[in-house]
Structure 1
Amino acid sequence: MMKWIDNLFSSRTFLKVFSLVLAFFLWFYVTGDSNTDVVRSYRLALQLRNVPSGVTIQLPSREVEVQVAANRFLASNIIPEKDIVCYVDLQGLEPGRHTLPVKISLSTGLQLITINPSTVDLRLEKSAERAIPVTPELPQLPDGYALRSVIVSPSQVIVRGTESDVKRITGAVVIPSLADLLANEKISLKVMLEPQSQEWSNVTVIPDRVDFQAEVDIVKIKKEVPIFVPIEGEPHPDYIVTSILTTPGNVILEGSKVTLNGISSITTKSLNISGINEDMEAQLPISVPKGINVLGDKSVTVKVTLKQRIATMKYENLEIEIRGRGIYRNWNIDPTKVDVIIEGPPSIVSSLEGKEPAIVAYVDITNIVSRRLSIPVNLEVKVKEISVKKVDPDRVTFTVLD
């Protein structure tokens, strides 16, 4: 039995018959499935046909939703804009409100399932148009600017729409920003209808954009401010700056109010006084800020006045030398030492520290005949830049001893 079954399945006749049966079932499945209807949904534009002349149509929505059925083959090849056309026919309608059925035209093989909405409410109104001048609504200019001219081109536009809408329009405006105003360039602006609180989607504006250009001038004012000289460096250590005088001391500036309001003084090019040890005079240019004009000379004379620093140093218990020849053999002076305070440039005074005194204190006993006498202490300065500020004591007592 098993051998007979094996021979049956392996015979060519059986395989041919089996192939034909399988092919038949496949053909039946495909052709049967392709004839099964498939539903498709579309959102389409609503066409208006036979529109009367001289009217404007107000229609809340111009789209409809459509469901159609077709076999799988047709459904997969539907071109909605071509195969499904939805429209309303306005043939012979007078101005007023109307409720019209939505009609549909389908290509062969398509079946309408639903259409939503099936009717539409619309309003026909006589069309109107008129010319309206375009007015610019300008922002407030900041201080320091003045409006010279404004050009709007074209200066008027045509508005088209229903009679009621056109009558309600009170004006047409363009609204430039402050940046647009200050640009001094031609720009394109959208035309806005007045009152702006109203909806004007059913009104056509021709043209809907216009060219706008404003010429704005900067108002110049004058302002007097002091001049300051930036100083670089320091003078020689032995000197200090006592004054910096500029001639002139003030300058008159010209510029916009906005710019000048932020300027309380003006400077020159910096002056380098590094290491100077005497008065200095220089001619310096004024540093002029951008957008500012200096009236008069654009340079100043600068005079730097110096004063020498004074340093002091004290010599304590400085021995008093005896000079000259006296007539007495035995004598003395009291005291024999003094304190001396010297003064001079800091660099010189500091160089004397730790060295032999730059001062010699002495008394001259020549021709003294008195046996007791107060005589002055004399000082000999070895460094010419140094002077004596104080000697203590400044006199000593000369006494003859028996």
Structure 2
Amino acid sequence: MKEMLQRNLGYKTISLVLAILFWLWVTSQGSSQTLDRDPTFPLALIAKNTPANSMIMTKLPSVKVKTEGYNPSVNVNELFAYVDLSGSEPGEHDYEVKVDPIPNIKIVEISPRVVTLQLDTVEERMLPVTVEVSGAPVNGKKVGETIVKPSVVNVRGPSSLLGEVDKVLVELSAAGASETLQVSRPLLFRDKNGLAIFGPDPSVETITSSPTSVDIIVPIVAKELESKMVPLNATTTGTPAEGKEVRSIQVIPSGVQVYGEPEALAQFSALSIGSVNINGLSETKTYEISSDKVSLPEGLNYGSRTTFSVIVEMGSAVQDKTLYDLPIVLRNLPEDLVLEKPLPEVSVTIRAYPEILNNLTKEQISLWIDATGKAVGEHTVKIYWQLPAGIEMVSIPDVTYTLKAKEDPPKEPDNPGTPGNPGNPGNSNNSGNQPVV
């Protein structure tokens, strides 16, 4: 064993020394760049404390920094210059370029020392998605009505660029397609000239959307078939929870594209996708129904498999409420007639959802009768009413009233006077007022 270790000992020693030297050389070739004595080097410029809902619309320049001193432990790749945007408002502003202190290093010069940046407010818009299909399917086929989900997206970006967005676009090729295409594609933003919209730095995404992509269904159908958009409807079965009722039923999408012979399509006007069970249901619920479970009339078919959503909105059931002692107003009373006695107050029963009834006051209900064309005597008539939105009149009584002729006001007593003095009362004791004969 000892002999084996001592064999070629010189070669082994040289090999070991070379290996150590090679290892030292490799470790000294790291990717970090140390800070040499008195260098001038470029630094990336970043922005700190950008205000919420704001965006920099100026491309950040590179900054050159000159230093004095030496610190071999500092990696230049880990250094950066920055500007502080705290409290900035939209518009153009000048900012001082700063570099954090570096141990044992003095920063002699920063160039540029001040940069001018344009800030813009970030806004949002809801925009429809447009699908542009290029290329032709195989012979005998054509592109049907394209479906995009979602059809509307929320677009977000700086106001100066968001206003230029004329179209949210998805591009798809149907060249050579023989069957329906179902794909997901990213959204593109185009101006009114159809050109892409970029910020000051094309490498930075300035306009975004939620979601960032959409699902597209492009039906590929036989050319001899035609298509038709038919509305969808759904019904319910079962009894909801006590005190609850169905407020509304909404089907999404509201319509579906159906394909078939022209004669079959002409006789098909709407599609019922079936009933959903609401037995015991107490709150709004969404039901999903696959098109596979919804049959079409013979000769018709869907362009592609899809899913229908049925949203059943639940709420408290309507309630009846009786209001007492409501006043009635008499309208259009002839000028020569008056009421024999005041109109009575009445009680009515109304119907509405609890949240409406709870906030209702008597002053919101108007009741009146119309005396147009009425004569002296007793009349039994129906009461007219006006109710706030969402309230139904359940019961209201008739009212009986009596009209009489309006009495003339009492006349002043006659003043006959005396002979020879018709303007004075006839009083024999008032001889001092008699004219001299």
Assess same fold via TM > 0.5. Answer: no
Give the alignment's TM-score, normalised by structure 2: 0.37
Give the alignment's TM-score, normalised by structure 1: 0.40
